[in-house]
Amino acid sequence: MDIGIGLPTTLLDAKGDLILEWARRAETATFSSLGVIDRLAYGNYESLITLAAVAAVTRRVRLMTTILIAPLRNAGVLAKQAATLDALSGGRLTLGMGIGSREDDFRTAPAAYKNRGKRFEEQLAWMKRIWAGQPPDEGIHPVGPQPVQLGGPQILIGGNQPNALRRAGRLADGYISGGGGSPDRVRESYSLVEAAWREAGRKGKPRLVCAVYYALGPAAAERGSPNLLDYYGFLGPNAQMIAKSFPASESAVQSTVRGFEGIGADELIFWPTIPALDQVDRLRDAVASP
């Protein structure tokens, strides 16, 4: 199982120079991917612009949106942005996407909140035509640049609702779980993805990427919780549960790795909760320990 690390783009007080140095350090630490979390009505850095900057200071590590809220964006523009990022990074983009659940993000865009699942499926078809070099519609010139990855970036779909899970099995290359599910719960969701994959007559199996929060070092849990409480404050009492349930010691990180290895995950992304560079080194050491 590959181990990736998230960028601190949603964390309070995370500055641009920290994000770029974080990416450089993750590259030398041999993490498989750099993940970025997407929101609009929040103080985070925009996902695709951030990954474009990160692509310029890295050469090996994959760049992954974990996830991008696609219906906030225009399908043609998003297709061109993703193709450009894939081309500039040498084919390193994995495009994790979902429909989002925060209505304030859609009000900020502005974009319609209703029927976003249907629109998302239409977006996927539109983007795939563009990436395949086909005119998106009659009388329109094909849109470039061509992505390095044949047919476009690898697509993962996230979400917890049955429609999202079936959509991942039908239309994506795999499924990406959120940051609060246990391995057993993720395995249950993934089973629905696999079932939809088989029903669609697809060969092979969908990729499974999982994501969890973490904090390491002195007073790790106490230092990491405020960022999660701020980010998930809209959930009320449930935010407290999220802010207390992430691995905050080397042994807890190692146990988390074993748990997701046990369900056959292909990759595990650790999202940071503390905006400090030592978190990259501490995670590297924790996952390298036997």
What would the pLDDT profile of 165-185 be if each residue is shown by its tens digit? 999 999 999 999 987 789 999
Tell me how far apart the alpha carbons of residues 214 and 280 are, in angstroms, rounded to a whole number: 11
Q: Specify the pLDDT at position 180.
A: 72
Identify the pLDDT of residue 98.
Answer: 98
Contact 62, 93 (CB under 8 A): yes
- Determine the average pLDDT of the residues in 215-227: 96
Whether residue 75 is predicted with pLDDT greater than 80 in this model: the reply is yes
Q: What is the DSSP letter of 185?
A: H
Instruction: Provide the pLDDT for residue 235.
Output: 86
Kindly give, in sequence order, each residue whose CB lies less than 8 Å from that of residue 150, ignoring residues fewer than 6 positions away.
none
For the ranges 34-48, 147-161, 228-242, 268-282, the lowest mean pLDDT is seen at 228-242
Angle between helices 162-171 and 183-199 (to 10 degrees): 50
Decide if 70 contacts 117 (C-beta within 8 A): no
Q: What is the pLDDT of residue 244?
A: 85
Q: What pLDDT, on a 0 to 100 scale, did the predictor assign at position 93?
A: 98
Spatial contact of 215 and 279, defined as CB atoms under 8 Å apart: yes
| Nearest CA-CA partner of 116 in 76, 82, 167, 81 | 167
pLDDT score of 117:
97
What is the C-alpha separation between 15 and 265, in angstroms, rounded? 32
pTM of the model: 0.96
Burial of 152-187, coded b for 16+ CB within 10 Å and e otherwise, reads: bbbbbbbbeeeebbbbbbbbbbbbbbbbbbebeebb
Average pLDDT for 145-151: 96
Q: Is the pLDDT of residue 289 over 80?
A: no
Helices (H), 102-231: 103-108, 116-131, 162-171, 183-199, 220-231
HSE, CB side, 13 Å, CA atoms: give it for residue 110: 3
- Rounded Cα gap, residues 241 and 247, in angstroms: 13
Domain 2-288 has CATH 1.10.10.410: no
For every residue of 189-217, DSSP letters joined together read: HHHHHHHHHHHTT-SS--EEEEEEEE--S
Name the band, by pLDDT with cuts 50, 70 and 90, for residue 239. confident
Predicted local distance difference test score (pLDDT) of residue 257 = 97
> Please, which residues bridge with residue 272 across strands?
214
The per-residue DSSP string of 21-90 comes to HHHHHHHHTT-SEEEE---SSSSPPPHHHHHHHHHHT-SSSEEEEEEEEGGGS-HHHHHHHHHHHHHHTT
- Kindly state the average pLDDT of the residues 84-99: 98
DSSP 223: H
- Average pLDDT of the residues in 81-110: 98
Is the pLDDT at 237 greater than 90? The verdict is no
Q: Is the pLDDT of residue 240 over 90?
A: no
**pLDDT greater than 90 at residue 234:** no
The pLDDT score that the predictor gives to residue 261 is 97
